[in-house]
Chain A
Amino acid sequence: MEIKKTSLNKLHQSNNAKFVEFAGYEMPIQYSKGIIEEHKFTRSHSGIFDVSHMGQLFIYGNESLTEELEKIFPLDLKNLKQNCSKYSFLMNEDAGIYDDLIITKIEEGYLIILNAACKDKDFEILSNLLDSKFKMNLDNTRSLIAIQGPKSVEILNSIVNGVDQLNFMTGNWFDSDNQKLFVTRSGYTGEDGFEISISNDKAEKFVENLIKKGAQLIGLGARDTLRLEAGLCLYGHELDINKTPVEANLRWAISKSRLSNGGFIGSKKIMNQMQDGASQIRVGIKPEGRLIAREKTKIFDDTDTQIGEITSGTFGPSVNGPIAMGYVNKEFSKVDTKILLEVRGKKHPANVCALPFYKKNYVKGVN
């Protein structure tokens, strides 16, 4: 199968991107400055991320659509205001996660942002569940651009006036340069920032304007170190079909009002796990010293019994040390629990720690 390219591919090339294949797309892993500088630039200034490989699913409908979606997602969608977003999951009957996603209520229905590797399957699952009663469009005519970091609001607002009035996890349509953009205040770095849905033919010029205003392109490499420092899950690593939201320590994302009556796919398992607890749970892990424990590293207790596994591990440039997330047996999930990580045949000490590793800087009270 031919590798897919986003509308910014040429711009990546002219900015000396190193490319990798990700979910069937040719995506920039880094540019000439490298992951650490890109990471730090995002934290101190403003980084631009091409996330056009992600799915933008528009589902059109009114109250009856809301009712149908409540049978699928563990959310109180009836009380979700227009232009407000929620983090959620598409699950199977056992509460195993097909995908994690952001769903936003828009005037015409809902916009759901899906992971690139999952989007086609998600579309199929949702089409079947909704029984083709609603118009669905997995829109590949639009690109998705994220701009993240403390200077992003100023930079984006100078091009798209009014985005500074958005609160975290809200969005709206904006007009800019005779085009309609859907902008949400959200992201995947722990910083204040925005995601902009824009038609493919306008995306390159739009990003060039952001660069002129002082933002810089950032690759998937830094996107990964940024999200890991922020304690955010990556599908295929922390989350998959064998993990539930409770095990992933994401019970905050399940609307309280939905827990008493259930009625969404996977609700039985979720309600049971909420009561009895899950046997394994996602935690933050801080290795002692500088050693990096990567994905699939086995976790042991001091009696040589395996108690878990790392799902993501790297060097955190802002933390200036190694960081990881993984699953451990419940009894080892308390903060400050001593654990051992087996790296290259030797066991190294580490501690279970609170997430995030790096304090989030979301903007919640602008209006």
Chain B
Amino acid sequence: MSEVKFSKEHEWITLEGDVATIGITKHATEMLGDIVFAELPEKGSNVEKDGTAGVVESTKAASDVYTPVSGEVVDTNQAIVDDPSKINEDPEGSAWFFKLKMKDQSEMDSLMNKEEYDKFAKESAS
């Protein structure tokens, strides 16, 4: 599995073969608060880099989830739809959102590594 990369919209992404797994970062869940609703893209649909690919809602507000890369949705995580509190518990592990079959793996290049993202998250929070 590839190194974890991060987007400015606070998604994380890993790549295995040509299938990317995408979720939202711990930092994102801390900003959102208790997540009580998750909507995921439909399996078989195509999503475009930086386009919306889902919604999460906390007790306070709704927020779009973006996809950091383009591709076809090959799997979604029903467990987080059934129990959205799992997203707060393990956002960068078992609470992944969806898997994409990537078209263009070079889209990964512009994303941040962990160190860059941590710095970005710290700056954007203050």
* Pairs across A and B, CB under 8 Å, 6 listed: A30-B33, A35-B60, A291-B37, A292-B36, A294-B62, A315-B36
With A290-B84, A344-B55 as known contacts, state yes or no: A221 contacts B60, CB within 8 Å. Answer: yes
With beta carbons under 8 angstroms apart, the residue of B37, B59, B85 that contacts A225 is B59
Indicate if the CB atoms of B37 and A314 lie closer than 8 Å.
no
In the complex, how many residues of chain A place their beta carbon closer than 8 angstroms to a beta carbon of chain B?
A: 17
With A290-B84, A315-B57, A344-B55 as known contacts, state yes or no: A34 contacts B62, CB within 8 Å. Answer: no
For residue B34, CB closer than 8 A to chain A, the reply is: yes
- Beta-carbon contacts of A288-302 to B below 8 Å, as 1s and 0s? 001110100000000
With A35-B59, A314-B59 as known contacts, state yes or no: A290 contacts B37, CB within 8 Å. Answer: yes
**What is the CA–CA distance of A29 and B33 in the complex, to the nearest angstrom?**
11
For residue A284, CB closer than 8 A to chain B, the reply is: no
Nearest-Cβ distance from residue A224 to partner chain B, whole angstroms: 8
Q: Which residues of B contact A290 (CB under 8 A)?
A: 36-37, 81, 84
The number of chain B residues touching the other chain, given as a range, is 10 to 19
Q: Which residues of A contact B34 (CB under 8 A)?
A: 34-37
A314 to B, closest residue via Cβ: B59
A289 to B, closest residue via Cβ: B37
Nearest-Cβ distance from residue A76 to partner chain B, whole angstroms: 39
For residue A193, CB closer than 8 A to chain B, the reply is: no
B61 to A, closest residue via Cβ: A294
**What is the CA–CA distance of A344 and B37 in the complex, to the nearest angstrom?**
14
Indicate if the CB atoms of B33 and A292 lie closer than 8 Å.
no
Indicate if the CB atoms of A292 and B62 lie closer than 8 Å.
yes
Q: Which residues of A contact B81 (CB under 8 A)?
A: 290
A residues 279-313 with Cβ under 8 Å of B? Answer: 290-292, 294
Q: Which residues of B contact A294 (CB under 8 A)?
A: 61-62
Nearest-Cβ distance from residue B124 to partner chain A, whole angstroms: 16
